[in-house]
Chains A and B, each alone.
Chain A
Amino acid sequence: MDNSPDRERPDGLGGTRLLEPKSLSNPGGVTGPAGTLFERAARPRQPHYRRPPERPLTRAARGQVTILFGGLTGCHEFLVEAGMQGLGYRVQRLPTPTRTDCQTGKEYCNPGQCNPSYFTVGALINHLKRIQREQGLTAERIGEQYAYMTAGSCGPCRFGMYESEYRMALENAGFPGFRILVFQQGGGLKQSCEGTAIDFNVPFFLSLLNALFVGDCLHSLASQIRPYEVVPGRTDEVMSECLAICRQAMRDKSYEIRAGLASRCLSRVTPGYDAADVAKFLEQLRGDWYTSALRRCGDLLNEKVEVDYTRPKPKVKITGEFWAQTTDGDGNFRMFEFLERENAEVIVEPVAGWITYILHQAMLNRTDRRGLPADMRIRPRQTWRQRVDGWMTYQKKMFLMRVARWMVQREYDRLRAALNDIVPPLVSQATLRELARPYMNPRAAGGEGHLEVAKTIYYSKNRLAHMVLSVKPFGCMPSTQSDGVQAAVIAHFPEVIFLPIETSPEGEVNAYSRVQMALGEAKIRCKAEFAEALRKAGTDLEKIRLYVAAHPELRKPLQKVPMHKGFAGRAANFVLHVADRMRADPCA
C-alpha cells in the first residue's frame, strides 16, 4: 500500500517542470544531423507500441456488470460488499488470495513484483478462470459482465503501478481489455467522472468507511477474545452471527436523507458539498445505525462466549506493510492463526489507522507548503490579493481536513463505545510522528512511511504489547528500509522485542521458526509480568480462579478490564483487576 501525499499540482497533472525543453533544445541553432539521410534510411515503417485503450464502465452498464474487489480481511470485505450492494451495485468479493494465486500472479505479471501484486492479480485471474470454467463463459463475455475495482495512488512505491500490472497480466491470461476501475486514496470524497458507472460520492465513501470501521471493530474483537475462549471455536461461531447482523445493517442502510435547515446552512461553509451531502454527514454523526448493530453483537458475544482471562498469553502487535498485515490468507503465512496456535494474543492493525495516516500526511504536506506560491517559483510575483487568497485556501483545506480527522476519530470511538470500549482506540498520528522523528523522517512516503518505526516504539514503550511483529511482503521497498531504521530503535529501546519477517512464499517454514524464536522471548517476559502481577495482587492464581468461577460477569468477553501501568498482558491486568474486586468484595 502506498501513501501518496496530496502534493500541490499547479498544472493539475503534477510534476512541476523545471527544465524546460525549450531551454535545452537546439542550443547554438544546430539544425540536426542528416535529416534526409535519416528519412530515407529510417527503420522500415511499422506501427509503434501503444498502450491498449481502456474500456470505460458506463453508467448504462452498471446493472449488468459485477464489480469484483479484494485486498482486505474477509471480514472487511464482506461488509464492504454488503455496503456496496446496499447502494445498488452488483459487487462480489474475491476469494482470499492463496499461494496458488501467488504462483498464478507470478506467471502473468512482470517479474520482480512485490507479493501483494502477485497475490491479488493471481486471485483475480484464477477467479475469472473459475467463472469461465464453471459457467462456460467466454473471455469476452466475462469482460462484459465483470470489472475489478481497486484503490490507486500516484506513488511513490509501486502500488501506484498495480493498475497497469492488472491490465497486463489479465491480457496475458487471456482477458484482454478487462476493466479495471480505480479510486484514488488521496483523491477526496468526490472523484467521479461524468458517465462512469461508479459514483465516487459521499454515500460511496461513507458506506466504505463505515464498513471498514465496523470491520475493524469486529476483527479486533475476535482477535482479543479468541485466544481466551473456554470452548475452542466458539468465538468464530458467534462472530459469524455478528457479521451477519452487521452485513444486514450495511445492506439496509439508506442514504436518502432530507436536507434540513442545519444542512443547508452548513453547506454554505463547506465548499464542494451541497446540502444533501452535509445532511448525510450530519446523519452519520447523529445516527446510531451502526452502533446499535454493534451493540447487538456485543450482547451476543457476552451471552454465548465464555472466556478465561487468567491464562497468560503474550500480546503481539502486528505491523508492517498494509496488505501483508491485513490479509488473513497465505499472503502473510496465515500469521494470525499461527500466533494464536502458539498461544499468543494478536493485536491487529485497524484500517481506520491507515485513513488517519493519510489525512495526517496530507495535512503535513500542506503545512510544509504553507505560504509558498502555488507555482513554486523561487521568486514569486504574487500580489497581496493572491497571497490572501492562498492563505484562505490553505485555511479552508486545513479546516476540512481537521473536520474529517475529527469525524473519523469520533465515529470510530462511537463504534468502540458500542462494544464497551474493548477495541483499542486509534493511536494519535501526532504522537506516532513524534516518536518516529528521531529515526525516520515522518515525510518519508511509500508503504507505511514512518508508522512501522513509530508503532514499535509506541507499543513497546507504553507496554501495550510484549512483542512487535512486522510482516512485509517480498519486495516491499519502503518496508525494507524501515527495517533498516528499526535496527537503531531496537538498540536504543532495550525493552523492544521486534521481529520483521518477509512473507515470501518460499520462506514459510523459516518465518514460523523465527517467529517462534521471538515469541519465546515474549513468553518469558509475559510470564515474568504475570508472576509480578500475582505478587502485586497479593493472592494466588487458584483463589483468583475460584473467585472468577463464582462471578459469571468475569467470564464475559466484553467485560472491562482496566489496564495497569507497566503490565501489557491481558491476564496480568485481569488478575490485578480481580484482586482489586476481591479486596473490595466483603464476600470474597
Chain B
Amino acid sequence: MRVAPVQNRQAEPAEPPHRIGRREGAAQSRLDARADQELLAYSAGSARTRPHGRRPFRPTVEYPRGLMVGMDVGSTTVKAVVVDPARGAILWRDYQRHGTRQPEMVLEFLRRIERDFPDVACESMRVFITGSGGASLAGFIGARHVQEVNAVSLAVERLFPDVRSVIELGGQDAKIIVFKDDPQSGRLKKLPSMNDKCAGGTGAVIDKIVAKLQIPPERLSDLGYDGLRIHPVAGKCGVFAETDINGLQKQGVHSEELMASLFESIVLQNLSVLTRGHTLMPKVLLLGGPNTFIRGMVECWRHHLPLMWAERNVELPPGARPEDLVIVPPDAQYFGAIGAVEFGKLETEENPNLGVYQGHEHLEWYLRVGRVQEKQACGVRGLWRERGELDAFLSEYRKRPWEPATFRPGQTVRAFIGVDGGSTSTKGILLDPERNVIAKAYQLSKGNPIEDTIEIIGRLREQVERQKARLEILGVGTTGYAKDILKEVIGADVALVETVAHTQACLHYYPDADVICDVGGQDIKLIFLKNGQVKDFKLNTQCSAGNGYFLQSTAASFGYDVEQYAEAAFAAESMPEFGYGCAVFLQADIVDFQRKGWQANEIMAGLAAVLPKNIWLYVAQMPNLAKLGRTFVLQGGTQHNLAAVKAQVDFIRARFQGSGVEPRILVHEHCGESGAIGCALEAYRLWSQQNRRTTFIGLDNVRRIEYRVTRDERTRCRFCKNACIRTFIDVTVGAEDEERAVDLSTRLLKSGAEEGHPTRFKKGSAGTASPAARNGDGSRMPLQRGQKRLIVATCERGTVEDREDMLQIQKGLAAVKKANPNLMEFAAREAFLPGPAVRVHDPIPARRWYEPLLPAPTRRRLQAMRRRQDVRIGIPRVLNLYSLAPFFRTFFESLGVPAENVVFSDYTSLELYKAGCKRGSIDPCWPSKVCIAHVHNLLYRKHTPDRPLHYIWFPMIDAMPTWLENVVDNRACPTAAITPESVKAAYIKEQDAFACAGVKYLDPMLHMDEPALLVRQLRDAWGEPLGLSAGETRRAVEVAYNALEDFQRRLHEEGRKVLEQIEQTDRVGVVVLSRPYHADPGISHGIIEELQKLGYPVLTQDCLPIDEPILERLFGEEVAADLCASALSIDDVWKNSYSENTNRKIWAAKFVARHPNLVALELSSFKCGHDAPIYALIEDIIETSGTPYFCFKDIDENKPTGSIKIRIETIGYFLKRYSEQLAERQRKARRVEQQVRQWEQQLAGQRRDLPGETAVAG
C-alpha cells in the first residue's frame, strides 16, 4: 500500500488519511524516472483517446502475417529490420548513429520504411521496439516495447541455438547472458548481468581512450591484441584507464600496445565483475560494436576464455579448437532488432493486435509539443535569474584580456621560467625579477612532456625575441606530472609538487586567501589556509567527477569550443538538473536529457551548475563551506569558463546564507597558469634568498634537445624477479651540457619531499663512465656521447643500470628504513611468523593391538590425533587475521600441528589478485574482494601434489578481544565477518573446487571476545578433524590467547621505543589510523612505505604504547577532571562504540591529538562501512588539537599511482615544514628551560648571599 507523503505537517493530524495511490507518491520528486512514467502514461492515454481508437491489425494478400518492424534504439545508434514473418525474410535493414537525437532518428526510420513499403498500410505493420531509448517512444507509434536482453536472447536462441553465453559490449553498457537449462519451463533460462552503476568495461571506455590517443576511426577496427605487450591499465573506469594510459604514454608506450592493454583490462573487468562468477560456457557469442568491429577485442576474448575453460576443467566439444568456440556473428548489430521481431512473432500468436503501427503523426506531435511539456516538468531555472544579475556577475568576473609585456629592442629581459607539465597540457610563463608575469604559453599535450616543454620554452622566448629583445634566464622551476623529467632534462633549479606550486601562486596575489579551489583538466585541488599557512588539502584521488575536462569534452561533443561554453550556457533560460556524482553517470544523464529534448546549451548550463556540487559535495565532501573561511580563490584552467565560475560563485554564496558572513570569491588573475607561476616564484626565491645560480641548460640548448624514448626488452630491469620493463629517455642537449656531464654517480636520495621518488637521472656518457659502471651489469643500450639518460622505473632499484649503483641505492634505502622504523610492516610480518608454541595437546597414544575393539568415536579420535603431525592447514592472509593470526597459529601449533604446516597465503599483489579474482560475483570493499584470490592462492599455489593442504581455515570472526574500556561492544565489521561465506560460495557454485582438490574448507563463526564460547566453537570445528578433547582445546585456547597478548605486547613495546626515539630527537612520527589489514602492502598500495622513505617513522594504532606513565602524561588531567572515564576510554568523543577496529582508531586519534611529536595519516578503503561514520570525528579529534592530519580515504582495487605520488609529495612538503616548526618549538622550550635553570641558580646564589639565609640553609 502506498501512502502519500505528508506535505504540511502542521495540518491537523487527525484528518482523514491522504489518498493512497502511486500518483501522489510520484509527485514528490521530479527527475527522469518520474518524467518517464508520466510520459508513458501520457502516451498510453493519448493513444487511447485518439479519435478513431487503436487501429486493429489488418493483413494484406502479399503479407498474410503483415510486416514486422524490429527497432533497436540504443544509446548511440538506431537499428531496424523489416521482416516478413510468413516467409522469415528480412526485407529491409538499416543502422544509423542518432547523435543523441533518438526520437528524430526513429521518426526518420519510420518515414523511410513507410516510403519503401508504399503498398503496406500502417495497420498491416506491427512494430516491436527495444533498446534503452525504446520504452518511452513505443507508446507514440503503437509499438510494443521489448526488454533488450529478452530481445537479444530470443535472437540468439533462434540464430545460434547452441550458444551458451553472450557477451555484448554497448556504447555505455555491458551485458553478459549465460544460458542454463530451466527444469521448470523446459527452456533455456537466461542469467543476465549488466553493468549497474559504472561504465567500466564498456565501449565508453574505449571511446574515451581512442579520443585521447587520437586514433582515427578507420584504424580502430584494425587494432590487434595478439603478440602485443600488455601494460597495466585499469579497466574499471574510463577515468582510471585514462590516468594509466597517460602515464604509459609519457613513458613512450606505443598506442597499439596501449589499446591492447585496454582491451585486456576491459575483458578482465568483465570476466571478474560482470560474469558474477559464472563460467562463460562455450559457445560464446560476441555482440555489440566493440566486440564485433575491433579485431583486438575479439582476439583478447579468444585468448582469455579458453584459459578460463582450462582452469575450470570445462569440457569442450571433441575436436573443437577453443578459439573457434568464441563466435562473432555476421549482422551482430541487428540482434536486438531481430530479437524484437522474434518476440513479436511469439506474442502476436495470442494477440494479433499487439504492436500495430499507428503511424508516425503522434511522434511528430511529441517532437513539436510533448517534449517541451516534458522538459518543463523536470527542468530548473538556468544559471541566472534575471538579466541584471547576470550582467552584474559578468562585469565583476569577466576578465580583461591579459596583455603580455612589451620590451625595447635590444633590451635584456631577465626572467624566471615556470613550466607546468600537466597531464593534458603544458603551461609556461616568464616571471620578471619584480615577480610580474611577462609572457605566457600554453600547449595541449602532444604525448611527450619534453617535446611540449621544448615548444613552450620556444614560444616564451619567441615572445621576447619577436620584439628584438634578448632573454636571460635567472632561474627555472617545474611542476606538474612531468616535473622531475623536465627538471633533469632542462636543468631546472627546482621541481615543485603541484599543490605547493598552486598555493604559492595564490598567496602571491591574494595573501589573505582562506581556500584555494584549483580545478584543472583532470584533477581538483582544494587547499585550506589559515593565516597564510596551509592547514589542509584535498585532492581527487579516485574520481575525476568534478574536473574541467568533462565540461570541455562535452562542449566539444556538441560542437562548441571551450571558449564558447559560457556564452552558450548563459543563453539557456532553463536547464536540466543533474544529480552530482560520477562523470560516467553524468554522461548517461546527458544522453537521457537529450532524448527528452534538452538543447546542447541547456545541458551545458546544467553541467556547469553541477560542477561545484561535484567539487564540494562529491569529491571534497565538505558541504559546510562557511567554516572554511571567507576568501575563496578559484584557480585552474576551468575558471576561464565563466559559466563554471558563475555556478561556483552562486554555490559558495548559497552555502554562506544564514551565516552572517559575505564570502569573497576571487578568480585568480592567471588561473590557468598558477602552477607555472608557483614554481617560477620558487625559482625566484632560491635566486633572491639563497643566491642560487641557475642550472638551466640554456635557451639554445633547449632548442637543440634531442631525445629518444626506449621501452623494450633492452630496458628490462634485472634486479629482482619482477623484471619490470623500464623507460629510458636518452637526451642529447648539446656541447655545453657535455662539458658538465661528467658525473656518473646517481644520487641515492633526493632531498625533502622528493626522497624516494622512483625517477632518477644519470648524467654522463659511455666515454666518461667509470669502469665499474661500464663493466658492472652494463647497459644493453650504451649511451651515446653527449647523452644523458633518464630512467623511469617502478621502484628505486630500477632507476639505475649497474649493480654497484643499485646496491648503493639499496644500502641507502635500508639506512633510511632503519632510521625510520615502519611498524606497520613490522606488524604485518610478526603476525604471521611461527613462534615457539607450548605443546599442550594430549599425548599421542601408540598403536595398540586392541585398538580395533575400541568404540568408533575413540578410534576416529586416535587416528585424527596421529594425523596432526602431517596435517597441513592453509589460512588466507587477509582481513582481521592481520591482528589475530598469532592466536590461530599458536592454537594449531600447541595441538601438535608442525609450525611449517600452518601455511598462509602470500601477501596481496596484483599478480595474486589477477590470478584468482575471476570467481567473484560481488563488488565489496577491496580487502574483502581480494579474499577470493587468497583462497585461490592457497588452493592452486600452496596446495601441491607433494605438499597438499588438507584444510583451508577461514573463520568468520564476529567479535574481537579488546583492551579498550567502557566500550559498547567490540564487534568485527560484517563485511569482514561474512566474507568467508561469500568466498566459499564462489568456489562451490559450479563445482566444488575444494572437494575436487581434496581440501576441506572450514569457516565457523568465532567470538574471540568470549573465551569459553570460543573453546566450544573451536572444538565444534576441529574436534573431529584433529581429534580434539575438551581439555586440550581449553589449554590450546589459553596458550593461543597468551600468544596473541604477547604479539600485542611486542607491538606496544616497539611503538614505545619509536616514540621515545622521536621524542628524544625532536622528530615527527606518523601514526597510521587504519584497520589491521591495511598493513598488507597490496591493500594499502605501498603508501606507507613511501611515507617511510620520506624519512618519518611510521606507527600504527595497535602499536601505540599503553604504558601507565605515558597514558598518565597524555590523558591524566582529563581523567582527573572527569572529562573521560579512563585513559583507555573513548566515551568522551564517541557514543556508538561497538566496532572494535573503529574504536581503536578513535582512541589512536585521541592519542595522536595529545602527543606533540605525532601526526595522523588515516587510511580507509572505499565502501568501508565502519570507517565512514567516523570520518568527520577523526578529523575533528585531530584537527581540534592543531595536529596535522592527512588521509587516503578511498583505497580500492585500482592503484592511482599518480595521485598517490602527488599526495605523498605534498604530505612530505607539509611534514617537513611541521617538523621544522616542531624542532624550533622544542629548541625554544630548551632555551626557556635553560634560562629558567640559570635564574633558579642565580636566585639560589642570591639567597645564599643574603644574611641569615645561610644559617637557615645550614
Contact = CB atoms under 8 A, between A and B. Distances in A.
A113 interface: yes
A460 to B, nearest CB: 10
B433 to A, nearest CB: 39
A30 B1056 contact: yes
A233 B19 CA distance: 10
Interface string A236-261: 11011001100100010000000000
B797 to A, nearest CB: 36
29 contacts: A14-B1138, A15-B964, A15-B969, A20-B963, A30-B1056, A34-B1064, A37-B1063, A43-B1154, A43-B1155, A95-B28, A111-B1172, A131-B9, A131-B10, A163-B1135, A164-B1134, A164-B1173, A243-B17, A337-B22, A378-B1012, A378-B1015, A446-B977, A446-B978, A484-B922, A488-B989, A510-B195, A514-B196, A518-B192, A525-B185, A528-B186
B17 A30 contact: no
Interface in B910-925: 920-924
Contacts of B969: 7, 14-15, 154-155
Interface in B948-976: 956, 958-959, 961-975
A507 B199 CA distance: 11
Contacts of B781: none
B585 A233 contact: no
Given A46-B1186, A158-B1172, A484-B921, A98 B988 contact: no
B585 A506 contact: yes
User: Interface residues of A toward B: which range?
Assistant: 35 or more
Contacts of A377: 1011-1012
A511 to B, nearest CB: 7
Contacts of A544: none
B1203 to A, nearest CB: 17
Contacts of A46: 1184-1186
A96 B14 CA distance: 19
Interface string B7-43: 1111001101111111001101101110001000000
B982 A373 contact: no
Given A103-B579, A243-B17, A330 B28 contact: yes
A48 B1109 contact: no
Given A43-B1155, A156-B972, A161-B1139, 8 more contacts: A8-B1010, A18-B1011, A33-B1063, A85-B14, A96-B25, A127-B9, A221-B1, A481-B974
A130 to B, nearest CB: 8
Given A48-B1150, A95-B28, A502-B196, A509 B985 contact: no
Interface stretch (B251-259, B1204-1212, B1225-1233): B1225-1233
B1012 A18 contact: no
Given A16-B1009, A43-B1186, A334 B981 contact: no
B1106 interface: yes
Interface string A128-156: 00010011000000000000000000111
A506 B982 contact: no
A514 B1181 contact: no
Given A18-B1011, A34-B1063, A92-B9, A13 B966 contact: yes
Going nearest first, the 6 A-B pairs with the smallest beta carbon separation are A74-B3, A484-B982, A32-B1109, A446-B974, A112-B1172, A488-B985
Contacts of A373: 1012
A513 B194 contact: yes
A305 interface: no
Contacts of B988: 488
A475 B33 contact: no
B184 interface: yes
A20 B982 CA distance: 34
B1009 A15 contact: yes
B1012 A380 contact: yes
A373 B961 CA distance: 17
A243 B4 CA distance: 12
Interface string A29-47: 0111111011111111011
A389 B1123 CA distance: 39
Given A95-B7, A98-B29, A494-B180, A112 B1156 contact: no
User: Interface residues of B toward A: which range?
Assistant: 35 or more
A264 interface: no
Interface in A3-36: 7-8, 13-21, 23-27, 30-35
Contacts of B752: none
A361 B474 CA distance: 76
A93 interface: yes
Contact of A78 (B10, B17, B278, B1138): B17
A24 B150 contact: no
A480 B185 contact: no
A511 B196 contact: yes
A582 interface: no
Contacts of A529: 184
Nearest to B6: A95
Nearest to B1035: A378
A326 interface: no
A100 B965 CA distance: 41
Contact of B1138 (A92, A160, A497): A160
A433 to B, nearest CB: 13
Contacts of A551: none
Given A107-B617, A447-B974, A222 B190 contact: no
Nearest to B1011: A378
B191 A490 contact: yes
A77 B3 contact: yes
A512 interface: yes
B970 A15 contact: yes
Contacts of B1185: 43, 46, 48-49
A50 B989 contact: no
B201 interface: no
A198 B554 CA distance: 55
A19 B1110 CA distance: 18
B402 interface: no
B222 to A, nearest CB: 32
B33 A333 contact: yes
A504 B588 CA distance: 15
A445 B974 contact: yes
B1109 A244 contact: no
B611 to A, nearest CB: 15
Contacts of B621: 110-111
Interface string A507-528: 1111111101111110011001
A73 interface: yes
B182 interface: yes
B1038 interface: yes
Contacts of B966: 13
Contact of A14 (B173, B968, B1011, B1066): B968
B149 interface: yes
B25 A30 contact: no
A276 interface: no
B1005 interface: yes
Interface stretch (B295-303, B566-574, B1045-1053): B1045-1053
Nearest to A30: B1107
Nearest to B1044: A19
Interface in A474-506: 474-475, 477-478, 480-492, 494-495, 497, 501-502, 504-506
A526 to B, nearest CB: 10
A380 B623 CA distance: 54
Interface stretch (B318-326, B404-412, B1163-1171): B1163-1171
B1226 A24 contact: no
A231 B956 CA distance: 53
A402 B1049 CA distance: 45
Interface string A296-333: 00000000000000000000000000000000111001
B147 interface: yes
A187 interface: no
Contacts of A502: 196-197
A475 B1169 contact: yes
Contact of B1184 (A8, A47, A491, A492): A47
Nearest to B16: A244
